[in-house]
């Protein structure tokens, strides 16, 4: 299953793009963390858009067969974390993304192409 995790990360990124998410990034954190293999990061302009992105990502992942273990932060919609096991999706409101700056925290990670 590990081989197609990158495909699940790309599916999540596509679902986010379908809802007009901004600054979509896939980070390959294999070998850097035991948390997951890939992080998908993206931003929305409002809490409503963050919720729409998170919902679309979860639905698309479910349809494609990746079991979602949990989703946290949906009600506040400032930072929604969708736990897909080896793929973790972070949907931020822009202000929270800039504040937490996960790209800086995980600067040793390799950034993957979305296409």
Structure token pair of residue 42: 């993206």
| Predicted confidence (pLDDT) per residue in 30-61, tens digit | 999 999 999 999 999 999 999 999 999 999 99
Give the chain's mean pLDDT.
Answer: 93
Give pLDDT, residue 77: 96
Give the pLDDT band (50/70/90) at residue 114.
confident
Q: Which numeric CATH code is attached to 2-112?
A: 3.30.460.10
Reported confidence tier of residue 3, pLDDT bands at 50, 70, 90 = low
113 versus 77: the higher-pLDDT residue is: 77
| pLDDT per position as a tens digit, 74-105 | 999 999 999 999 999 999 999 999 999 998 99
Q: Please give the Cα distance from 47 to 51 (Å, whole number).
A: 6
Predicted confidence band of residue 12 (pLDDT cuts 50, 70, 90):
very high
* Residue-level length of the chain: 115
Task: Determine the Cα–Cα distance for residues 17 and 31; give it in Å rounded to an integer.
Answer: 27
Residue 41 β-bridge partners = 25, 90
Report yes or no: 90 and 83 within 8 Å, Cβ to Cβ. no
């Amino acid at each position: 299953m590990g081989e197609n995790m990158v495909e699940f990360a790309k599916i999540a990124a596509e679902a986010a793009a379908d809802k007009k998410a901004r600054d979509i990034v896939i980070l390959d954190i294999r070998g850097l963390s035991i948390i997951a293999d890939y992080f998908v990061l993206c931003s929305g302009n409002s809490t409503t858009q963050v919720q729409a992105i998170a919902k679309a990502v979860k639905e698309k992942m479910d349809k494609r067969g990746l079991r979602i273990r949990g989703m946290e932060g949906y009600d506040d919609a400032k930072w929604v974390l969708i736990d897909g096991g080896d793929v973790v999706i972070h949907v931020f409101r822009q202000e929270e993304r800039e504040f937490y700056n996960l790209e800086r925290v995980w600067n040793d990670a390799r950034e993957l192409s979305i296409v």
